[in-house]
Structures are given as C-alpha cells and as structure tokens.
Chain A
C-alpha cells in the first residue's frame, strides 16, 4: 500500500514538473499566436489570454506591405534552407564515407582538420568570407547563403559516427565485387542506408539555416532577396510612426509555421536522431 502511494506521488510530481516545463516551452508560442490576432494598440495595453479580432487585418497588412516582401522572403528562405540541407547532408555523408571506407596516408590529419573547423565560430571567418564572395561576384545573391553548407563539420561528424555503427564495410566490398563503381556504391548502397541520419541532419540544417540571421544580413541588400529573419529585423527597426507590433507578430508567426509543420511531420526522425549513431543496431 505504502509502495503504491509513493509511486503515485512520484507520477504526480513528474506530471507537475512536465506540465511546468511544457508551459515554459509553449507559453511563448501562445503569446505569439495571441498577439498575432491583436492590433498594435491592444498589444501595447499589455498581455491578454483572449485572442483579438485583428488576425486578418494583420495578415493583410503584412502581405500588402511593399517594403516587407514576406512572400518572396518565404520563397528565399525555403530555397536557401532546402539547398543548405541537401548540400550539407549529401556532401557531409560523402566526406564521412571517404574517411570511413578508404585507407590513405593523411586520413587521420584530415579528420583532425575537420574537427578543428568544428570549433571555429562563424563570426571569426565572416570578414574573410565577405571579402571572398565580393571578389567572386556573389554579393547580394542567395548562393553564399547555402553553398558553404557543403562543408559542415558537425554534420560530417554525425554521419561518420552513424557509419561506424551502421555501415559494415563488407557491404561496400560486396558492391565492388558486384561491379559497382565507387560513386554508384555511395549513391545506391551507402546513401539509402544513411537515410535516418540524413533525415535528422537535413531537419537540423534546415532549421538552423531558416533561422540564420548573421550571414544573410551581411550579404543581402536587395529587398527581393531577403530571407525571413532579415525581414523581421527590418520590421522591428521600422520608424516609430509606422511601427506596428501586430504586423511583427504576424511575420514571426508566418516565419515559424513551416518549421512547426516540418517538426510535426518529422518528429519521429528527430527523436530517433538523439539516439542515432551511438548504438550499434
């Protein structure tokens, strides 16, 4: 009886803690959604739990604001994030495969070099990066926003550990004997096996790129080429007379929607991703 009561108590405690955590996580989303339905003056009056009636007004204002091209922002963000996710996962898997499946003299130094890049913050190399793309004529284009994803050390490391646990070299050898060329072996045998790892890293890269503000803010000047985070920043720094909090909340809501949809669709992979790579299947 005593035991039953303790386990009951524990469950209650666990639920209370989880509810608090869930509240802390979701409350901001709630504020965001509520505020997106209220107009500027309502928002300035303070917080309310009850939705306002300005949802469509805000939406209309955002869509029709020529200075804030939200639709093209969504398009740009989608292009950049999707390309970055595709490039980062494919080329990281390729690099990881190269280091995993082949024996060559500089294998170890190459691995260490990649790991060193991993600890280098983007800000350190930003100046050099801007000079480089200026000279390459890529300033104010979308290219520099996703091309560097080809070299993604963190994704590489994830792929490498996943291969160690899930890709027996015998498979590669079997493919070689079957007459498959090295590239075909990678594309037709290795990549399909890497699918779970690729899915996880694609999601993470997509989200990171989607939220990236630093590099796009440095590179893009054209309104039509701006990604969503820059547009949000532009809205917030708009002049005092035109400042409309309802619009800001609406743009933020629009910008997080695709991420939320992706999260809901692929949550299975994201959860799997946490344990992926470490355990030999």
Chain B
C-alpha cells in the first residue's frame, strides 16, 4: 500500500512539446483520486508516468517512499486497466488473469486460488475458459479489472476504463469499481474526462487543464467552491451559467447587476469590484422557479428557447442579458418552448469570478 508524490515533475516530449510544465501532487495511501479534464490536458500522461510507461523529464516521482524515476513498470508494484481493455486476445480469461502471476513464478495452486477469487468477486467464474472475443464489453472490462486485482498491487491505475461502455453499463461498473476500492483498500488513480464519473467515484478530484492542476479537492468542495471559471464550468451537469455582471454598492451591502436583475450580496469580498465587471456564475439548479422564491429584485424573465423534460426535473434553455442560460427546475413547473418564464437567482448560491484572471472572488 502506498501513496504517490509528484515533486516538480516536468514532461517534455522529444519534439519539444511540454505537456506537464510543473506538477506537484500528493495522493494519499488508500485514496481514490480521479484525474479529470478535457482531452489533451495531461491527465493520461500523468497516469502513464505513475505506471512508468512515460519517462519523466524533470522532477521526482515517489510511490510510497521510493523514488520511481528510473524504475521499470514491472517493478513498481502497480496494476493498470486500459481504456480498450488490452486483454491478450489469444489467451482465455483465466490465462489473461493469471499471466502476471505466472511470470512471477507463483505456485500453481496459489495462482488458481487468486484467479478464482477475483473471478468470483467480479462475477466472471463461468467465463474463465472463454477468450476475450467471446465476451461483451462490460465483461471484458471486468476481466481487465480482474487481471489487475489478482496481482494485489499497491497502486491501481485506471485509464478511462468505462468510456467504451454504454450508459447503463457505465453506471453499473462505476459502483462496482467504487466497491472494489473499498474491498481492496488500495490506492486508486482514475483518469476520466467525464465529470459524473469523477464526482461519483473520487475521494478527491484533481481537475487539470493544459498540464496544470486547477484544483485538487473533494467533490463537494469542487462543486460548492470552485477556484476558477474553468473548474466551475467543468464540474456540474448541466454546466454552470456564466453571465457578465457589474457590482454595485447598495444600502444593505452590494448587488450584482445583469440585465434587469439585481442579486443582493452582503459579502465584503466584493468591495474592490464596485463599478467593475465580473463574471457571475450560477448553477442551473440554483435558478429557482417556484412562486415562493419569486418577487424580489433577483428575478429574471426570459423566453424559453427549449424545454427538456427529464422526468423529475425540466431543463429550460433561454437567453438572458446576452448569455445563454440553462435552468434546472422541478418538472411541476410547466414552461413550454416559446413561453415566458420567471426565475429567481438564489443569492446564497452565486459564484463571482474576476473577469480578467478567471479566479474566484467569492463562492
């Protein structure tokens, strides 16, 4: 069991492109950390550096207390699950899972016990004699997990393992992987571009962009207190609404003004921004549509461009104050496309960002 530490790690490819300019990251022992970000943000490279599949140009990487810079993958005590499963096509499920143990020259009975145990946990017992070709996507992914499990590694690396599965299976596997983490009590590092996977599985989430860590924190903190516009926009579905607004001083404190809407806010962090433009962030679920919420200055009225009924809630798409916005309201509120709807901005749930730097002013 081991934590992982990146100290000023730089990754530059032979063609001179630097994908990771300076990475400092500490993953605790037994933690489930999700690396998330858009494609090309360096999350997979980071994972591959942990695995030893990519070299490190500068800086140090530790697994536990051991410096790993020059240690080959097989000596790192890690296991990895790949996006395309990477199962050996000519071997049966059993042999795929047993391969690493055979190489370690473990006794046959021991290998058999471990493989059957993992197969049992993953529900693969009846498929042990099949070849990967004869399995469905979900089963293949479980074999890939099983192959990693039997080795009992100190670090489990998963590179977008669910992206090839359909939506239903993905949800199922998500909970299976979370359960597995609890069962195994091992450090998990999971790479994904899907924020839902990140939010539901990670103990902590590391949001990356252009090789730089934007924020590394618990899902709750990322959702409630994003540190900049990028994180605020990346975490949460549908995405947070961003509106250009101006801060005004009022009798009771301050107000954030956009269009005809004035959202009161008493927080002193706004003092330096009086009269200046800021970016107001409000999540779709914090635009309230019930009668009891309406009536203040914090309301806005707009024409619904599109309404999407999702079951328990409805997504309303509209334009307001030059911004495209989405509201997520209870489906009891009926606002068909083309109708006018009035919504209130929940003043306690707004996020204000500096327009220049994109950094958060208040959450």
Contact = CB atoms under 8 A, between A and B. Distances in A.
Interface string A230-264: 00000000000000000000000000000000000
A65 interface: no
Interface in A184-221: 184, 189, 192-193, 195
Interface in B92-139: 99-100, 103-104
Given A168-B84, A170-B86, A192-B90, A178 B53 contact: no
B103 A178 contact: yes
A179 B89 contact: no
A177 B155 CA distance: 12
B65 interface: no
Interface stretch (B72-80, B162-170, B272-280, B314-322): B72-80
Interface residues of A, number: 17
Contact of B99 (A103, A170, A178, A193): A178
Interface in A139-181: 168, 170-171, 173-180
A171 B103 contact: no
25 contacts: A170-B82, A170-B86, A173-B73, A173-B80, A173-B82, A173-B86, A174-B82, A175-B88, A175-B99, A176-B73, A177-B51, A177-B73, A177-B74, A177-B78, A177-B79, A177-B80, A177-B100, A178-B99, A178-B103, A179-B74, A179-B100, A184-B103, A192-B88, A192-B90, A193-B89
Contacts of A178: 74, 99-100, 103, 147, 151
Interface of A: 103, 168, 170-171, 173-180, 184, 189, 192-193, 195
Contacts, number: 55
Contact of B86 (A103, A168, A180, A192): A168
B251 interface: no
Contacts of A193: 89-90
Contacts of A171: 86, 88
Contacts of B72: 176
Q: Is the interface of B mostly helix, strand, loop or mixed?
A: loop
A176 B53 contact: yes
B14 A170 contact: no
Contacts of A180: 74, 99, 103
B209 to A, nearest CB: 25
A164 to B, nearest CB: 16
Nearest to A173: B53
Interface residues of B, number: 23
Q: Is the interface of A mostly helix, strand, loop or mixed?
A: helix
A102 to B, nearest CB: 13
Given A170-B82, A189-B88, 6 more contacts: A173-B73, A173-B82, A177-B73, A178-B147, A180-B99, A193-B90
Nearest to B79: A177
- Among A170, A174, A184, A189, max chain B CB count under 10 A is at A174
Interface string B286-323: 00000000000000000000000000000000000000
A9 to B, nearest CB: 43
A16 B16 CA distance: 63
Contacts of B151: 178
A176 B74 contact: yes
A171 B84 CA distance: 9
Q: Which 10 A-B pairs have the closest CB atoms?
A: A178-B100, A179-B74, A170-B86, A174-B86, A192-B90, A179-B103, A170-B82, A177-B73, A176-B73, A177-B80
A166 to B, nearest CB: 9
A179 B83 CA distance: 20
Interface string B1-30: 000000000000010000000000000000
A176 B75 CA distance: 10
Nearest to B82: A170
A85 to B, nearest CB: 21
Contact of A170 (B73, B84, B103): B84
